[in-house]
Structure 1
Amino acid sequence: MSAAVLTPKALPTPDIGSRLDPRRNSLNLIRLVLAFSVLLAHSWHIVGDGAGWGFRGENLGGWAVAGFFGISGYLITASRFGNRIGPYLVHRVARIFPAFIVCLLVMAFVFAPVAYLIQHGSLSGFLQTPTTPLNSVFANLSLRIVSYDIAGTPAGVPYPGAWNGSLWTLYFEFLCYLLVGLMGFLPIVKKTPWPVIAAFAVSVLVWANVGLIKPYLQSNLDFELAARLVPFFLGGAVVQVLSHRIGIHKIAGPVSLAIAALSIFFVDGFGGQLAAPFIAYGLLWISTWLPQPAIVARHDISYGAYIYAFPVQQLLAVFGAYHWGVWWFTLAATLCTIPLAAASWLFVERPVMRRARKS
Structure 2
Amino acid sequence: MAFAFFVVISHTVQLAGIDDLYVLRVIFSSDTAVQAFFIISGFLTINSFESSGRKVGDFYLRRFLRIMPAYVAAVLIFCALGVGQALSYGRHVELAGIFRYLVANLSLLNFLQPTIDGVFSGNPYPEINGALWTIKVEVGFYALVPLLCMIGSRASFLSVAIVLIAIGILWPSGLKFAADAGFHLHPSLGHQLPGQFAYFGLGALFYWVSRADQRTPLAAAIVVATALACAGLGEFRMATQVVVLSTLIYWVIHLPQIMPGKRPDLSYGIYLCHFPIIQLLINWRGWSGGEEYLLLLLVPAAAIAYAMASWRVVEVPSMNFGKRMTANETRN
TM exceeding 0.5: yes
For residue 172 of structure 1, report the CA deviation from its aligned partner: 1.1
Asked if 1:96 corresponds to 2:67, the answer is yes
Asked if 1:340 corresponds to 2:311, the answer is no
Quick check: 2:3–2:33 contact (8 Å CA) kept in 1? yes
1: distance between equivalents of 2:287 and 2:230?
Answer: 33
In the alignment, what sits opposite 1:350? 316
For residue 293 of structure 1, report the CA deviation from its aligned partner: 5.8
Deviations 1:197-248 (A, max 9, x none): 2232232222344311455764134432124322111211111123212279
1: distance between equivalents of 2:6 and 2:244?
Answer: 20
Matches within 5 A, 1:138-217: 138-145=103-110, 146-159=112-125, 161-186=126-151, 188-189=153-154, 191=156, 193-214=158-179
Letter matched to residue 69 of structure 1: F
Higher helix share: 2
Quick check: 1:299–1:345 contact (8 Å CA) kept in 2? yes
In the alignment, what sits opposite 1:9? none
Letter matched to residue 102 of structure 1: A
In the alignment, what sits opposite 1:309? 274
Quick check: 2:43–2:207 contact (8 Å CA) kept in 1? yes
Letter matched to residue 329 of structure 1: L
In the alignment, what sits opposite 1:235? 202
2: distance between equivalents of 1:313 and 1:216?
Answer: 39
Letter matched to residue 71 of structure 2: F
Pick from 106, 112, 129: which aligns with 2:77? Answer: 106
2: distance between equivalents of 1:292 and 1:335?
Answer: 24
2: distance between equivalents of 1:118 and 1:293?
Answer: 47
For residue 111 of structure 1, report the CA deviation from its aligned partner: 3.3
CA distance 1:34–1:278, shift in 2 (3 Å): closer
2: distance between equivalents of 1:61 and 1:75?
Answer: 21
In the alignment, what sits opposite 2:33? 64
In the alignment, what sits opposite 1:76? 45
Identify unmatched segments of 5+ residues in structure 2: 326-332
CA distance 1:260–1:273, shift in 2 (3 Å): same
2: distance between equivalents of 1:298 and 1:85?
Answer: 27
* Alignment RMSD (CA, Å): 3.5
Matches within 5 A, 1:206-285: 206-214=171-179, 218-226=184-192, 227-246=194-213, 268-269=234-235, 272=238, 276=242, 279-280=245-246, 282-285=248-251
1: distance between equivalents of 2:322 and 2:120?
Answer: 36
CA distance 1:61–1:184, shift in 2 (3 Å): same
CA distance 1:37–1:73, shift in 2 (3 Å): same
Letter matched to residue 175 of structure 1: G
Quick check: 1:259–1:278 contact (8 Å CA) kept in 2? no
Q: Secondary structure at the match of 2:287?
A: helix
The normalised TM-score by structure 2 is: 0.81
Q: Secondary structure at the match of 2:6?
A: helix
